[in-house]
Amino acid sequence: MSLTPNIIFDLDGTLADSAPSLCKAGNLLLSELDRPPIDVETYKGFIGKGLHKQVEQLLSYTGGVPQNKLEKHFELFCDLYNADPLSATHLYEGVDDALGYLKALPSRLAICTQKMEKPARVILKGLMIEHYFDGFAFGDSLPVMKPDPAMVNFSMEGFGSGPLIYVGDSETDSLTAKNAGAKFLLFSGGYRNSSIEKLGHDAFFDHYLELGSLVNQILDDWN
């Protein structure tokens, strides 16, 4: 008998290209500090380790973290980003169809993201994909963050047992999948800093049209 798989997805750089929205908020913060803006490609290198680390890296890159003011600037960034996390964010091509296919297999789908729940929910609802998911772990769900496997376990609360597959785009995602004992499918179009060859994965894909067949291959091997 085939087991129903549990498929866990990262959000930023995996399902949605949110870097333009994050970069916009970052540049508004830099403007408050009389610092010049940075481009989106540079900003992508800061994404993946949680928003607090993201702001710290942004400030360090552009002239340093003002003494004893990281928390103040983090809070300002959150206010700026939460005011508009959606307008410059879009799904990667083929995501909606891929999620629909996986849901119909059937499979249990979950979100496991470093992004705080408030903006993440706005994005999931605004991009009309929230209904595909049965479990969620956000950056403020637990006292730990990825790559701690507790994030994956939390996202799957109430799920039955089955093959575990993690879909992500970054070094943090690769390590999260390893720590959780999951097969890791790497989306090559996200925000990784390493080459595909140097980033541990079971398979990679360039377009979401490929995801369904990769999942089926894993399930065939599992059975």
pLDDT digits (tens, 9 = 90+) for 139-194: 999 999 999 999 999 999 999 999 999 999 999 999 999 999 999 999 999 999 89
Report the distance separating Cα 149 and Cα 179, nearest Å.
6
Catalytic residue positions? 10
Answer whether 151's CB lies under 8 Å from 112's CB: yes
What the chain holds in terms of domains, given with CATH numbers, is 6-17+90-222 (3.40.50.1000), 19-82 (1.10.150)
Mean of pLDDT values over 116-135? 97
CA-based diameter of the chain, in Å? 62
**Buried b or exposed e, range 91-102, using 16+ CB within 10 angstroms:** bbebbbebbebb
% the chain with pLDDT above 90 = 92
Whether pTM > 0.85 for this model: the answer is: yes
Q: Is the pLDDT of residue 1 over 60?
A: no
DSSP letter (8 states) at residue 208? G
3-state secondary structure of 152: helix
Mean of pLDDT values over 119-125? 97
Cα→Cα distances 187→92, 155, 176, Å: 10, 20, 15
